[in-house]
Amino acid sequence: MSFQNFNNNKSGYVYSITNSINGKMYVGSTCNLRSRFLRHMNELRRNTHHNLFLQRDFNEYGESSFLFEPIVISDDFRNIENNFIAANASSSILYNIAIGNDTFSCNPNKEDIKIKLTETLNLNRDKIKPRYGEENSNWKGGSSFKFCKCGVTIQPQNKTCISCRDRSGKNNPFFNRKHSDETKAKLRDKVIGTYNGNQERSVSCEGISYRSVSSAAKALNVSPSLICYRMRKDKYKDYFYI
């Protein structure tokens, strides 16, 4: 196959691979002629070209019977290529089996492909069976959510929420363990530094005075963070520091 060289530029090319024996041509488009020419040559010589019609004639007539050359230089080269192929699809002048992205409609092995696809689908249909209920690994007892005994939504791998989790005895990660004297000293210094020597501050909640936020939380059976939250909000006027 001979190659008529054109310098590459910002525009694209519509090119043809023409059989000098029977006049048939393959039409394509590219921004780099030389790279596309080398790709076609490599595939044809290895008998692996995607176009079966072109490959068969290349094997029959030989490499010297084909000419690769540009036929149009334009910024709109893609549309020109598609329009040209579509206009000549019904004629016998083209090797092309694809119009736009459709590589099936004009494929010479279309019927064989349809048969193989049907056989594959029927084979897989017998192998794949629906799994219901406990047979399905994603089944969650008929519900998409898991709930704790208190009604809070929890993750599927958890048994309870954080509030209901048993942390007594062996369930406590610090069970049968003690802080060293060095650790105790560090914790004490950290707490003193945070509160400037005053570790407790009296609060009033719902008309009752408590020695600290923790004492109030324990008496009201709520979390200390909830007591602090209410003291920051104007609507809880009976929650404040003394």
Going from N- to C-terminal start, the domains of the chain cover: 2-109, 199-242
Q: What is the pTM of this model?
A: 0.42
Give me the architecture of the 2-109 domain, per CATH. Answer: 3-Layer(aba) Sandwich (3.40)
CA nearest to 3, candidates 31, 34, 47: 34
Of the pLDDT bands very low, low, confident and very high (cuts 50, 70, 90), residue 155 is confident
State residue 19's pLDDT score.
95
Least confident of 93-97, 112-116, 205-209, 229-233: 112-116
Of the pLDDT bands very low, low, confident and very high (cuts 50, 70, 90), residue 37 is very high
What would the mean pLDDT of 117-138 be, rounded to a whole number?
A: 72
Average pLDDT in the chain:
81
Q: How many CA atoms lie within 13 A of 45 on its CB side?
A: 9
Strand partners, 54: none
Q: Is the dihedral of CA 159, 161, 164, 170 positive or negative?
A: positive
CB atoms within 10 A of CB 96: 22
pLDDT in tens, 63-110: 999 999 999 998 888 888 888 888 887 778 888 876 555 555 666 666
**Cβ–Cβ under 8 Å, residues 52 and 97:** yes
Q: What is the Cα gyration radius of the chain?
A: 40
State residue 46's pLDDT score.
95
Residue type, 106: C
Instruction: Indicate if the pLDDT at residue 43 is higher than 90.
Output: yes
State residue 178's pLDDT score.
83
- CA 60 to chain CA centroid, nearest Å: 47
In this structure, what token pair is assigned to residue 180? 């060293």
pLDDT in tens, 180-201: 888 888 877 766 555 544 557 8
